[in-house]
Structure 1
Amino acid sequence: MPAQAAAIRLVDDAGQTLEFVRPPQRIISLTPHLTELLFAVGAGAQLVGVDSASDYPEAARMLPRVGDYSRINFERILALKPDLVIVWVGGNRAADIHGLKKMGLPILHTQATRLDDVARLLRLLGQASGHAAAGEAAARDVSARLAALQGRGTQKPPVSVFYQVWDRPLMTVGGSHWISDALALCGARNVFADLRGLSPVVSREAVLRRAPELIVGGSDAPDLRRQWERFASLPAVKNRAFVRVDADLLHRPTPRLIEGVAELCAAVAPYR
């Protein structure tokens, strides 16, 4: 559906007020989850450029690439003549966001850390792109599906989990990450929930000290069992408790995250 031709005024996640006489028709997204969220609210046709990792839905693969998480191509962005660039604060480099500001481009700042941010971002991006009604409908659907998963972890004591994002360096998720929220919902406890930041680096010694009963990793991470099986005293090794989940679902704050949470709950359940 075409974007509604009405004036737009909104406040983004950086507290910046944006005003448009009509909905932006040439949007650039700089992260995969923002691209997916824009398609989810019906704004896919307004996208003229995306980052190199934007691969869902299939139509996103056909859009021009303007860089990746390590560096964006300012010349290519200017050539696409965007009337809105959407960034992820904490995900995109601060230097890149600053460079876009210096070029005078309209920027929508977004943040995503918690499970509830998916519904909130659907509303924000729906409003920003002229698809407020579709954004509201998508947000309500996500919230309802998330609510249906609530209560799965209330019957038994939580199982302690080390969530491994990567091995070199050894990275996990902090307490402010939506995966920590997902673990709690599933009846598990992130052993590094006290750490700040989305993806802090930890040592193997720290993991051993916190003695997780279960080690979980994304499908894009190296083999977990091979890395940890030599640490025989680790409860997860004793329990042979290693599981992998679909990283595309669980690592992106989009409507598909709810499927990832359901998969995580199913993976955790046998170890509780």
Structure 2
Amino acid sequence: MIFRSIKALLFALLSMPVLVWAQVCVEDQSGQQLCLPEPAQRIATLSPGATELTFAAGAGRKVVAGVNHSDYPPAALKLPLVGTHTKVDVEALLALQPDLVITWVTGNPPAQVEMLQALGLPLFAIEPRSFAEVADVLERLSILAGTEQVGFAEAERFREGMATLAEAYLDAEPVSVFYQVWETPLMTINNQHLISKVLQLCGGVNIFADMPRLIPRVSAEVVLEADPQVILTGSVEGLEDNQLDRWKSYPKMTAVAQDNLFFVPASPISRPTPRLIEASRDICQKLDIARAR
């Protein structure tokens, strides 16, 4: 193409489509506002939940690093790993040149987070504690990554899926539940934990809802005294293992007598991500089985 004048050349240049990024600013779940000069292109996620949420927000192709146990979606298994959520290999992280680092509010140690801040890395802290916050985090992550179309659509799908379940179980008969997080030491969840909110959505009544700690330790004696109708725990793929065998020693316990010792896939129920729809549906079905017995 030959331009016959400077004026014609300038006109041609100005007529070309130009991609212009605007600064994006979003407040994270620690109350800090993060502003990026343009949507992130190289994202590091420092917890398995953060990895899964970032992919769900449509930004999976922009994720350049994860940590151990970042196993969903399957594409996350191919990510370079920079340590664990409790101990990040800072040198490996810096070598990947992230322009956004997603941290977990209670998962990444404060000293570690402060070190990353001191190095000038843009940090965005997340940790959804409610269904509404899961959807909200999806939207915020998509804004930071410039993937709003996917992120907002996924957030709306999640809201609708959880609302449908809530409506279906609005008048469900209450069922008392003990959710076993860990066998030794014996650990459970209180009312503030997202798993407890799933139980409530399904008509379950968490027998330790009023405990002060999010994940309290309890004794077998207090569980026996509460005599729950159902005992639930997470396992690999929801397959039955030996985690609940101790309770079989108490045949008069209601959950044991009625054969209501249930397993659900651990990863979907333990991470506040869109897979909570399927995890919640599974738990609701387990409680329906208990109601019918």
TM-score, scaled relative to structure 1: 0.93
Query: Quick check: 1:230 aligned with 2:249?
Result: yes
- Aligned partner of 1:74 among 81, 90, 93: 90
- Aligned partner of 1:178 among 194, 200, 221: 194
- 1:227 Cα deviation from its structure 2 partner: 1.4
- 1:40 Cα deviation from its structure 2 partner: 1.6
- Aligned partner of 2:215 among 178, 185, 199: 199
**Alignment of structure 1 residues 53-202 onto 2, 5 Å:** 53-202=69-218
Preserved contact between residue 24 and residue 83 of structure 1 (Cα < 8 Å): yes
Q: SS of the counterpart of 1:41?
A: helix
Q: SS of the counterpart of 2:167?
A: coil
Residue 244 of structure 1 is matched in structure 2 by 263
- 1:69 Cα deviation from its structure 2 partner: 2.9
Preserved contact between residue 176 and residue 196 of structure 1 (Cα < 8 Å): no
Q: SS of the counterpart of 1:168?
A: coil
| Larger radius of gyration between Structure 1 and Structure 2 | 2
Residues in 2 aligned to 1:4 and 1:120: alpha-carbon distance in whole angstroms: 26
Range with greater deviation from structure 2 (181-190 or 215-224): 215-224
Question: Aligned AA for 1:226?
Answer: D
Residues in 1 aligned to 2:229 and 2:89: alpha-carbon distance in whole angstroms: 44
Preserved contact between residue 12 and residue 109 of structure 1 (Cα < 8 Å): yes
Residues in 2 aligned to 1:33 and 1:261: alpha-carbon distance in whole angstroms: 17
**Alignment of structure 1 residues 26-41 onto 2, 5 Å:** 26-41=42-57
Q: SS of the counterpart of 1:229?
A: helix
Q: SS of the counterpart of 2:64?
A: strand
Residues in 2 aligned to 1:94 and 1:7: alpha-carbon distance in whole angstroms: 28
- Aligned partner of 1:19 among 30, 35, 38: 35
* Unmatched tracts of structure 1, length 5 or more: none
TM-score, scaled relative to structure 2: 0.86
Q: Percent identity?
A: 40
1:227 to 1:112, Cα distance in 2 relative to 1, 3 A: same
Residue 283 of structure 2 is matched in structure 1 by 264
Residue deviations 1:157-182, cap 9 Å, x none?
31110001111221112211111111
Q: Across the two proteins, how many residue pairs are aligned to each other?
A: 270
Residues in 2 aligned to 1:224 and 1:231: alpha-carbon distance in whole angstroms: 15
Preserved contact between residue 172 and residue 202 of structure 2 (Cα < 8 Å): no
Question: Aligned AA for 2:30?
Answer: A
Residue deviations 1:20-67, cap 9 Å, x none?
111111110011121112112221121111011111112111111011
Query: Quick check: 1:5 aligned with 2:24?
Result: no
Residues in 2 aligned to 1:241 and 1:224: alpha-carbon distance in whole angstroms: 14
- 1:123 Cα deviation from its structure 2 partner: 0.7
1:134 to 1:72, Cα distance in 2 relative to 1, 3 A: same
Query: Quick check: 1:211 aligned with 2:227?
Result: yes
- 1:143 Cα deviation from its structure 2 partner: 0.4
Superposed CA RMSD in Å reads 1.9
Residue 50 of structure 1 is matched in structure 2 by 66
Question: Aligned AA for 2:256?
Answer: V
Range with greater deviation from structure 2 (237-246 or 196-205): 196-205
* Unmatched tracts of structure 2, length 5 or more: 1-18
Q: SS of the counterpart of 1:205?
A: helix
Preserved contact between residue 177 and residue 207 of structure 2 (Cα < 8 Å): yes
Question: Aligned AA for 1:261?
Answer: S
More helix by share: 2
Residues in 2 aligned to 1:58 and 1:4: alpha-carbon distance in whole angstroms: 33
Range with greater deviation from structure 2 (180-189 or 32-41): 32-41
Residues in 1 aligned to 2:176 and 2:20: alpha-carbon distance in whole angstroms: 48
